Amino acid sequence: MKTRFNRLFCSAALAALAGTAVAAEPKAMLGFSATSTQVERDLEGRFDAGLSAAAIRERLRLMAAEPNQVGSPHDKANAEFTLAQFRAWGWDAHIEVFNVLYPTPRAEGLELLGPHPFKATLTEPAIPGDDSSAHQSGGLPAYVAYGGDGDVTAPLIYVNYGMPADYDALQRLGLDVKGKIVIARYGAGWRGLKPKLAQEHGAVGCIIYSDPADDGYGAGDAYPAGAYRPETGLQRGSVQDLPVEPGDPLTPGYGAVEGAPRIPLAEAKTILKIPVLPVSWGEARPFLAALGGPVAPRGWRGALPITYHVGGSGVSAHMLVLSNWDQKPLYDVIAVMKGAREPDKWVVRGNHRDGWVFGAEDPLSGQIALMEEARSIGALARTGWRPARTLVYASWDGEEPGLLGSTEWAETHARELQNKAVVYINTDGNNRGVLSAETSYSLRRLFDEATSTVTDPETGVSVRDRALAAMQVRGLASDATPEQKTWAKIARDGGDLPVGDLGSGSDYTPFVQHLGIASINFGFAGEGQSGGVYHSAYDTFEHFERFSDPGFAYSVVLAKTAGRLVLRAANADLAPFQFADLASSVAAQTEELKKLVATGREHAVTQDRLLDQKAFALADDPTLSSGPPERESIAPTLDFAALDGAVTRLTASAHAYDQAAATAPTADRGAAADALLQGLEQTLTDPEGLPGRPWYRHLIYAPGLLTGYGAKTLPGVREAIEGRRWSEASAFIARTAAVLEAASARLDQATGVLTK
């Protein structure tokens, strides 16, 4: 009783704080009239009633029972189970098979040589009390996908996180990695960049370990006492050169279907040359403890009870990685429910199904929610209801090694998707906690509205209001980033729920970045503790139920949120886009780029002055053979006029459209406008793509070449400025302005249809 009272009291207090009632009075939703809004709300009530936490739990128990990585028997069994379920729920479902290059370890070894030799086991032994972890047969040992083959013996050197700034620091210590094996810790940037940068700097091998400071006992109690990474836990993962292009490396840009040509392995652009192995901190410790050389810089030290040294001479290691470079089958399960009014407009919803080992949290916690949505929608269909637009539900295979299942499917059906897909809605792993998302700008209002009608199970306010409260609290902290402060301000001032920009790292990538289909990626996180078993054999049903989402309440919330997004996108009288957020975002980014040029110029000028004064030589410790930094090229005056003009026009066009769309949409006018809106995000792409990576065509957002997953906005211009390639920056100012002009023209046409 007391708990219940406290809970209620808490909810009321939070609701008052957020200033909104949980069940808002129905007003017209984006794309709906007042009448059709009421119909949709009733439908959502019936959809919610069809969701069951118990059914979700049972599904996770079955699907996470055995290792289910690409090519494993249980991956195929899960695909067949998913197919049978979709069919039983009334969907028109099939499995699409692709054959992709997927290397798996054939032989591997990691040894420390010298006076205190040590041989790593590269395995994750069972954890007491976790039955799943004792049943790893069919799983694979420590490995990463798409590293090179190699048998190397070389001096070992510690490079901290192995990010660009770490190489600058190493250079200033007078050390380099040429001909050496680097050992880097996980964190601070995408995994694949660590071996890529090591290779570019001349290293011959790369070991990546999980330091207990980051996700082990330095962060919380280790498994099984707590949720965090134990001494034996290691992180598998992909090191494919994802920012160049995802998908099967042998079929770049087209589907890996039967009979499609394969390029020779040696020509594949996204496979590394050097061998890479992940290890636990327990097995990394002897290597790190043996290193000599200078003491590691302060920021490089982790939580092991040793003095961290950089090494670089004296201590050597031996690495062996040999893989089976054969093709393995992918099983994408695709389920369709045809739309009654606009069957050729598709709402696509996906989550991946393959894990690294058991994959309970990543990805099955999202997959089981997606299936629950499909079950509830199937039950609605049995009552005679039909969506207005067609629903396409996808259970992707092969996401972990390189977004393989979604990319091959998107490439195979590229033309049809570009003609029909209105929106793509993605989820991946899910936890107890607070809502966060990345979306196309045109979908922010839809996301804001839909999430305001889903109740958070812990607080009783909407998941949106809880996220807004969390953003304001975060923005108040003394270490808040500029972005967190901006979000806090938007949250306070009542704008649409702030969300991030789309980069990469999950299955929305081919849809938005390659095909130009407006996308949403979202989930709940922050309280469930899954980080310490991320990509480990300990990401099990047992761990998930204890630490990630006890009671599966947030799996249900994920299904409720995704279900609303899917159903509203499918049923709205007019496709639910809003463009003011696009115009204001691009306007703000343009100003940011101008500042970036100015601050870069100031930095280069100041550094030149310090070099002229020999200031670096005076400031440095003369016993360490460091050298001064290299001179930077000073930015010329870049002409932003074309971009400024395009932003002004877009702002006017977006506001005109939003106003026209707000005046009581009807289904017949909506259908006429849909034809223009469906392809609108595609106007923001350029068929020639980004420099050196033409697969990435979106000119408003892309994963950064040096961030891996993280987004760069106006990437053509921004990365050219960051790389001090001034003529490329000018060229991309013109190309980015051109896509914005095209978007404005398309918006004006849609406004014309609505106001005629």
Give the binding site for Zn ion (CB under 5 A): 362-363, 428
Closest contact distance (angstroms) between CB of 403 and Zn ion is: 10
By beta-carbon proximity to Zn ion, the closer residue of 158 and 331 is 331
By beta-carbon proximity to Zn ion, the closer residue of 75 and 428 is 428
Cβ distance 193 to 269 under 8 Å? no
Closest contact distance (angstroms) between CB of 24 and Zn ion is: 33
- What does the block give as tokens for 248? 């099967």
Q: DSSP labels for 563-578?
A: HHHHHHHHH-SS----
Closest contact distance (angstroms) between CB of 527 and Zn ion is: 19
CA distance 391 to 368: 18
Identify the three-state secondary structure at position 283.
Answer: helix
By beta-carbon proximity to Zn ion, the closer residue of 362 and 411 is 362
By beta-carbon proximity to Zn ion, the closer residue of 255 and 363 is 363
CA nearest to 144, candidates 315, 272, 14, 285: 272
β-pair partners for 712:
702
Closest contact distance (angstroms) between CB of 232 and Zn ion is: 22
Alpha carbon distances (Å) from 685 to 303, 713, 737: 45, 13, 11
CA nearest to 600, candidates 637, 639, 634, 642: 634
Closest contact distance (angstroms) between CB of 63 and Zn ion is: 14
CA distance 99 to 327: 6
User: What is the torsional sign of CA 425, 427, 432, 434?
Assistant: negative
By beta-carbon proximity to Zn ion, the closer residue of 79 and 729 is 79
Cβ distance 281 to 209 under 8 Å? yes
By beta-carbon proximity to Zn ion, the closer residue of 462 and 555 is 555
Closest contact distance (angstroms) between CB of 667 and Zn ion is: 37
By beta-carbon proximity to Zn ion, the closer residue of 362 and 408 is 362
Query: CA-based angle 528:530:534, to the nearest 5?
Result: 160
Checking 628-635 for CB contacts under 8 A at 24+ apart, the result is: 629/168, 629/172, 631/604, 631/607, 632/600, 632/603, 632/604, 632/607, 632/608, 632/724, 633/604, 633/724, 633/726, 634/601, 634/604, 634/605, 634/608, 635/597, 635/600, 635/601, 635/604, 635/721, 635/724, 635/726
CA atoms within 13 A on the CB side of 600: 22
Cβ distance 533 to 539 under 8 Å? yes
Closest contact distance (angstroms) between CB of 400 and Zn ion is: 6
Closest contact distance (angstroms) between CB of 222 and Zn ion is: 23
By beta-carbon proximity to Zn ion, the closer residue of 513 and 571 is 513
Omega before residue 550 within 30° of 0, cis? no
For residue 411, count CB atoms less than 10 angstroms from its CB and return exposed for 0-12, middle for 13-18, buried for 19 or more: buried
Closest contact distance (angstroms) between CB of 756 and Zn ion is: 45
By beta-carbon proximity to Zn ion, the closer residue of 29 and 64 is 64
Rounded to 10 degrees, the C-alpha dihedral 188/192/194/198 comes to: -160
Closest contact distance (angstroms) between CB of 251 and Zn ion is: 22
By beta-carbon proximity to Zn ion, the closer residue of 362 and 573 is 362
By beta-carbon proximity to Zn ion, the closer residue of 75 and 362 is 362
β-pair partners for 158:
183
Cβ distance 453 to 32 under 8 Å? no
- What does the block give as tokens for 58? 């049972």
By beta-carbon proximity to Zn ion, the closer residue of 323 and 426 is 426
Closest contact distance (angstroms) between CB of 542 and Zn ion is: 19
Cβ distance 392 to 416 under 8 Å? no
- What does the block give as tokens for 599? 């601050």
**H runs (alpha helix) in 361-462:** 365-382, 399-402, 404-412, 414-420, 444-451
By beta-carbon proximity to Zn ion, the closer residue of 281 and 538 is 538
By beta-carbon proximity to Zn ion, the closer residue of 540 and 571 is 540
Closest contact distance (angstroms) between CB of 365 and Zn ion is: 9
By beta-carbon proximity to Zn ion, the closer residue of 371 and 593 is 371
Closest contact distance (angstroms) between CB of 354 and Zn ion is: 8
CA nearest to 162, candidates 181, 149, 146, 144: 181
Closest contact distance (angstroms) between CB of 40 and Zn ion is: 31
Closest contact distance (angstroms) between CB of 351 and Zn ion is: 8
For residue 415, count CB atoms less than 10 angstroms from its CB and return exposed for 0-12, middle for 13-18, buried for 19 or more: exposed
